Amino acid sequence: MTALFGIYTFRALFAPEGMAKEFNMDQSSVYMVRVLGTFVAPFFLIGIYLIFRPNGPEGAWVYYNLIFINFVILSIYDTTFYLKKIDQDKGAKNSVTDLAVNTFTLIASIILILGLSDKIYL
């Protein structure tokens, strides 16, 4: 999961033009892509910190639960958008790949929370 956050952070902060093109946005959206990247960057940085700190994920329940909540909300939105239940007239797009990444991250967060529950909940 930390690697996914790293990829997204890099793309959003250092190569936002590619993301703008991928989602049919013009160059004026580069600013918003980078702004959204700043919200994801802390997840990447904290994930790196948790990997290398001496006591690992101990007591980090907020971090893992926040990831879970974010991806529940994002999965609901992405699925309803993909199925054209909302925002049909916006000209934006998403793909099965977006749904797969969201599903993977959501399932991974559930597995991490359950698997690390003895460590993250002190």
| 60 and 48 both lie in a single domain | no
Residues 81 and 22 in one domain: no
The pLDDT > 70 percentage for the chain reads 100
User: What is the predicted pLDDT for the residue at 22?
Assistant: 86
**pLDDT of res. 72:** 96
60 lies in the same domain as 116: yes
pLDDT tens across 98-118, in order?
899 999 999 999 999 999 999
User: How many CB atoms within 10 Å of residue 53?
Assistant: 11
Please give the pLDDT value at position 38. 96
- At which of 28, 52, 76 does a domain end? 52
Asked whether the predicted pLDDT for residue 48 surpasses 80, the reply is: yes
Reported residue count of the chain is: 122
Q: Verify that 102 and 62 share a domain, yes or no.
A: yes
Are 112 and 68 in a shared domain?
Answer: yes
> What would the mean pLDDT of 49-60 be, rounded to a whole number?
94
| Domains of the chain: total | 2
Whether 48 and 94 share a structural domain: no
One domain for residues 72 and 38: no
Identify which has the larger pLDDT, 9 or 25: 9
Averaged over 84-101, what is the pLDDT? 85
How many other C-beta atoms can be found within 10 angstroms of the C-beta atom of residue 95? 12
Cβ-proximal residues to 6 (8 Å cutoff; 6+ apart), any chain? 44, 48
Asked if 58 and 120 touch (Cβ cutoff 8 Å), the reply is: yes
Query: Taking residues 51-69, what's their average pLDDT?
Result: 94
Residue 122 has pLDDT above 90, yes or no: no
Do residues 6 and 66 both lie within one domain? no
Domain enclosing residue 64, as ranges? 55-122
CB atoms within 10 A of CB 83: 10
Q: Are residues 62 and 47 in the same domain?
A: no
Asked which of 29-38, 91-100, 102-111 is least confident by mean pLDDT, the reply is 91-100
Summarize the chain as % helix, strand, coil (round to 5).
75, 0, 25
Residue 93 pLDDT > 80, yes or no? no
Whether 48 and 62 share a structural domain: no
Q: In whole angstroms, how far apart are CA 82 and each of 24, 33, 96, 105?
A: 15, 20, 8, 18
pLDDT of residue 91 exceeding 80: no
